[in-house]
């Protein structure tokens, strides 16, 4: 699209709100666009792309842009990151803009410290280096600066993956199967898929491929009793229901009415009748106690720092802190300990996060196993191999954007001994 004074002004205004970091960026933009319904789809896409580009590279841009106001950050992003020439912006620039923009365009970013170059807070960079080593941390950091692809999950109750791919091709939407998930599709670009008939009739849902794989780690079977303990808006819940061929019972537990309300239209589209959303007052709700020792499969996709999803949620790295992670660890421990009470003898429990940090992942699982002698670890590789999912992962499930092209997820499979 052609940039003009109006959409540059609106972009700067949206960026000003997003950079306050008081709310998630996607929520900020949603409210921003709701108040400006006159903006067309191209304007909205341009504003959103620029805001997210700045949030991804915020620390780098602030290091090379003099007096980094929202307007300057937006312009610098367009020139340094999004390929616009200074000449094409000339009609929109003030007299003093050209000098600092030339400085930005020629800035030697490779000489900056890695945490600045990769736009990561120091505390996070230090933990990534400690955990992965510097070379791997750099590769991971670079991948986290890239926008995520748009992945879909096929609802196999309604259509096959081949049928969905054929329908998308007929409509001129480029798509291909995901390399690991047997029900995943990856789109080229970001078409408005939520208006497509496949979406409106429930044949597809938007879901990252790694998130889909959690359902295959749990591997629920027909007629089983299953709990999605932190169901949220229900993306994984719906996958579990479909894997069970709409038989048995899936409880979708969450403490948030708002998140469970978001599940309702998705559940209606899915044509599933075996999913039962229930709001919990806490992880020790009476509903949990009533089901103690009765559940076959339990998914705990625990609340976490979300640092594995920085391609989609780049503001997360600026809104998280070591203190917040410590608080999340305490919450994760409580949730996992409570969810485990649901397990009947022989039951499978999957603990998962979209965090990069060992303290939210391996440390939680190791502590659980050390304090729960009736449970044992199950090799994730064996679980995936049994379903012919060709993903080399090892005993614990790990995916990364630079290795697998997915969000970074962690999971452990745990079994209550019979």
What residues are labeled active site? 354
Query: Is 330 exposed, middle or buried, given 0-12, 13-18 or 19+ CB atoms closer than 10 A?
Result: exposed
Phi-psi region of 327 (alpha: psi -120 to 50; beta: other; left: phi over 0): alpha
Contact 157, 201 (CB under 8 A): no
Contact 409, 346 (CB under 8 A): no
Cα 58–Cα 60–Cα 61 angle in degrees, nearest 5: 65
Q: Which contacts (CB < 8 Å, 24+ apart) does range 307-310 have?
A: 307/124, 307/354, 307/355, 307/356, 307/357, 307/408, 308/353, 308/354, 308/355, 308/356, 308/407, 308/408, 308/409, 308/410, 309/148, 309/208, 309/354, 309/407, 309/408, 310/56, 310/144
Alpha-helical runs (H) found in 145-291: 161-170, 197-200, 209-218, 235-243, 257-270, 286-290
DSSP H helix total and E strand total for the chain: 21, 12
Strands (E), 107-166: 150-154
Token pair 């950079």 is found at: 19
Cα 304–Cα 329–Cα 289 angle in degrees, nearest 5: 90
Contact 29, 18 (CB under 8 A): yes
Residue 61 to residues 38, 45, 68, 411: CA-CA distances in angstroms?
30, 21, 8, 34
Contact 51, 81 (CB under 8 A): no
Tell me the C-alpha distance between 389 and 243, whole Å: 15
Tokens standing for residue 68: 């980094």
End-to-end CA distance of the chain: 62
- Three-class secondary structure of residue 167 per DSSP: helix
Tell me the C-alpha distance between 25 and 21, whole Å: 7
């Amino acid at each position: 699209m052609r940039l003009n004074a109006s959409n540059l002004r609106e972009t700067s205004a949206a960026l000003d709100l997003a950079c306050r970091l008081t709310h998630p960026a996607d929520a900020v933009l949603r409210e921003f666009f709701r108040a400006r319904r006159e903006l067309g789809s191209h304007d909205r896409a341009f504003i959103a792309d620029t805001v997210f580009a700045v949030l991804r590279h915020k620390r780098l841009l602030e290091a090379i842009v003099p007096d980094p106001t929202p307007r300057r950050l937006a312009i610098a992003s367009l020139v340094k990151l999004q390929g616009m020439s200074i000449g094409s912006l000339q009609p929109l620039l003030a007299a003093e803009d050209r000098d600092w923009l030339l400085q930005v365009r020629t800035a030697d970013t490779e000489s900056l410290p890695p945490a600045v170059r990769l736009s990561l807070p120091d505390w996070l960079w230090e933990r990534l280096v400690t955990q992965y080593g510097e070379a791997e941390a750099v590769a991971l950091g670079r991948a986290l600066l890239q926008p995520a692809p748009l992945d879909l999950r096929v609802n196999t109750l309604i259509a096959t993956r081949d049928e969905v791919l054929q329908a998308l091709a007929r409509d001129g939407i480029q798509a291909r199967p995901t390399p690991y998930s047997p029900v995943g599709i990856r789109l080229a670009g970001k078409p408005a898929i939520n208006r497509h008939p496949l979406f409106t009739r429930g044949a597809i849902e938007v879901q990252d491929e790694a998130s889909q794989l959690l359902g295959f780690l749990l591997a629920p079977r027909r007629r089983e009793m299953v709990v999605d303990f932190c169901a949220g808006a229900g993306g994984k819940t719906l996958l579990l229901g479909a894997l069970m061929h709409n038989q048995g019972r899936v409880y979708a537990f969450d403490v948030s009415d708002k998140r469970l309300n978001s599940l309702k239209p998705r559940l209606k589209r899915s044509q599933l009748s075996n999913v039962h959303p229930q709001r919990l007052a806490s992880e020790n709700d009476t509903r949990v106690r009533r089901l103690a020792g009765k559940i076959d499969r339990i998914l705990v996709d625990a609340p976490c720092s979300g640092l594995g999803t920085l391609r989609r949620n780049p503001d997360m790295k600026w809104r998280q802190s070591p203190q917040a992670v410590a608080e999340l660890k305490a919450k994760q421990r409580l949730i996992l300990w409570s969810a485990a009470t649901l397990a009947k003898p022989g039951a499978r429990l999957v603990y998962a996060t979209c965090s990069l940090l060992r303290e939210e992942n391996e440390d939680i699982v190791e502590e659980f196993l050390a304090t729960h002698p009736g449970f044992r670890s199950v090799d994730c590789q064996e679980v995936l191999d049994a379903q012919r999912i060709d993903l080399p992962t090892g005993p614990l499930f790990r995916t990364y954007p630079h290795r697998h092209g997915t969000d970074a997820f962690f999971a452990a499979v745990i079994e209550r001994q019979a």
